[in-house]
Structure 1
Amino acid sequence: MPPKYSNSEDKLSDKVSETYSNWEQQDQLIFMWLLASMSPNLHSRMVGCVHAFQIWQSLHLYFETQTRARVCQLKSQLKGIKKQDSLNSYLLAIKKIIDTLASVGSPVDPAEHIQIILDGLPSEYNPLVTSIISRTDPYSVTEIETLLTTIENRLERQKQEEQESLNMQANYVQFPGGFQGRGQGYFRGRGQQNHRGRNRENFRGGKSFGRAPSRGYDKQNNYNRPICQVCNKPGHTALNCYHRFNPQYQDSSAQQVSNSSKTQQKAMVTKGNLDYQSNVSALMAVPDTFYDPAWYPDTRATNHITANASNMAGKSTYTGETKLKMANGDSTSIQHIGHSYLYSSNSNKPLFLKNLLHVPSISKNLISVSQFCRDNNVKFEFTANNCCVKSQDSKHTLLEGHFTKGLYVFHNISVGPSVCNSVTTENSNSIRELPNNKCDLYRIWHAKLGHANYKIVHDVMNKCGVSVSKNSTFSLCKSCCLGKLHKQPFYYSNTVYTSPLQLIYTDIWGPAPIPSSSGSKYYIEFIDAFSKFTWIYLISNKSQALQCFSHFKNMIENQLNSKIKCIQTDGAKEYLAFSKYLNDHGILHRISCPYTHEQNGSAER
């Protein structure tokens, strides 16, 4: 800041020096520029400032205080941060806060960075934390992150192994406690159903005389021994069974079962008290070699699944890497993918099984409830003892199932290519061949019915006993697109403008989601048709459009020494208010047709 007076004489006469005058002029320009560039909420903090450097000092003091508060907040977050989700997200959260501190001028020391990481780790990382703290040579942050990532992978693998060991407990099948006797299969007493014998499956009945307790060496846990799910013999589990790698093996009791639907009702009651027969029946392990032809609805399944490839009407080998994930967390491979048809005695039309997966290792055929409803326009109804599938249109029952052993099951249905090649209606003896491509069938009847919409075609074909898939699977009909157009094509204009202001395009844009620093939410633009030069004015409301045009007209006509001949707008209300003003100044007003923004294309773009 130069001195205001050159000497004492000038000070007495109040004569300001030329150097000070030039500086003061530049200072005031900077002063006004700073005020204009600020948001309105900062203007109140600049009260009392006369020079530009005073504004800078006020801004520095204000933002320095804000920065200190922000630094305190970030450091408080660092102290309270803990590992909750994955290690990667935990380390990234710490790195983000530390980078923010560095950007505001408060960097964090690497040693403090490492300490913050270690403080937020759970107790399972305590051995690693102890070894890091006791190390003489300090680690770097990168080395700490690498060590933690390695430990996390080991912990995850250990948890997975523990979970697998817990899942293996499903292979242990035990008898209810309370059997008594001297040895394996030995029961003695005068209680109800008196059994006596020293060999397995050697029972001799008697009458009930009242003395129920029998003798034995281990009164509670003598028969609480694991039963193998492969060979059904006691004393070992399926993991240690000699026959576990033989997929063709069946124990003698399982070979006597005639069909798969009865195998789940058999119980291993060859030893033990017969009073526990109903409880022991739930403990039987069914070998994987039995095939269940019934179909089970599953609300959690994303696709239909079958273990028998003969159930598929069309199939192709699956070459992808995706595996089928089951409820217990295991994954199994998919052999084929295809489709099939499902028939019931209650329906004369086939029901589609799209995206049917062939998984040989699955034990039951599953119907995906969500996919089945979408593909066949049906709904499922579940009651206490029954379930049924009904048509959404006719409310007719198409499938009926029953509740058996905790599951809903459909028995009397036929699935496969042998029953999917024809459909026989109740009112006609003719057989309609099902087309291989439902899209081609829909397009043929769509054209035969005069290019009717999907609902009409769907209703007609349903009444004729022919099923059509969803409309979303069909492509657009080109003839319908051309025949139903209600607009003529727009061609390029051949009009050539030879001088500025012959025609002005204008349009209003807004409202903006975030207002400008001056509170404006809209802007109005004026485009010269000759030069394509554009002028933009910020406005707070659309009602300011006429005022902006008046300012624009006075400015542009004065600068170019020419008059505006014509203006083109859309039919918005704010432009209808231009009519009187334009008539008074002899300016033509061209308005585009309703809902035809193409006519005002230069402004709309």
Structure 2
Amino acid sequence: MKGKRYIKEVMLVPSLAENLLSVGQMTEHGYFLVFGDHKVDIFDDSSLSNTVVSVKQKGNWCFTLTFNTIKEVALKTNVQECSKIWHKRFGHFNFRSLKLLQSQAMVLGLPEIQNGEVLCHGCVLGKGHREPCPKESKWRAKEPLELIHSDVCGPMQTTSLGGNKYFITFIDDFSRMCWVYFLRNKSETFHVFKKFQVMVELQSGYHVKRLRTDWGGEFISANFLQFCENLGIERQLTVAYSP
């Protein structure tokens, strides 16, 4: 054999007494093997002119090939596993309990847990909570139409007989009286509010002083805001999908 030859893509099995070389692996890396006369000849190319090595067959029908080896057959490295990875593997388990599992040897292979104060964005989103909404408002209207709550619901899956897909509610904070109007489109919200305002003010003798809605585009259009400003109606905007 002339020169050096390298066998790539091998796996280290420390408990294995002998090295096993696959014929398929040899052919995949460009070598040509010829079996016969109780031996195998390994060649560099298809011309079969340059013999790499010739290996005789042993009594167990195996072909034993002896390699020249050096002491540093493998390199070992120490990788410090990230505690955050183990935190995720255990379903975002808290770090204090992970340290307890490790100190009590309750989990095989669990390394020493560090960085217990690392912020986990998944835990912040999944385990965060908000304070419960109060059952009663801290402030209530003292007279009719002092505060009107309003919201639009829709679009509905089924259109009404009148061709409407939405409805809007107006609730008086003082009396809890509720008015419901049906809408074909959200763009009709401003027009319906003006109808509602004229009707309730004429019938009750009071004036709408405050209108509380969410930040829906149908409530904060330029025309709507300008109309309320001209009449002195205070606008109160709340977070969507909250009481």
Of structures 1 and 2, the one with the larger relative CO (CA 8 A, separation 6+) is 2
- Give the greater-gyration-radius structure (CA): 1
As a proportion of its length, which structure holds more helix? 1
The normalised TM-score by structure 1 is 0.20
The normalised TM-score by structure 2 is 0.49
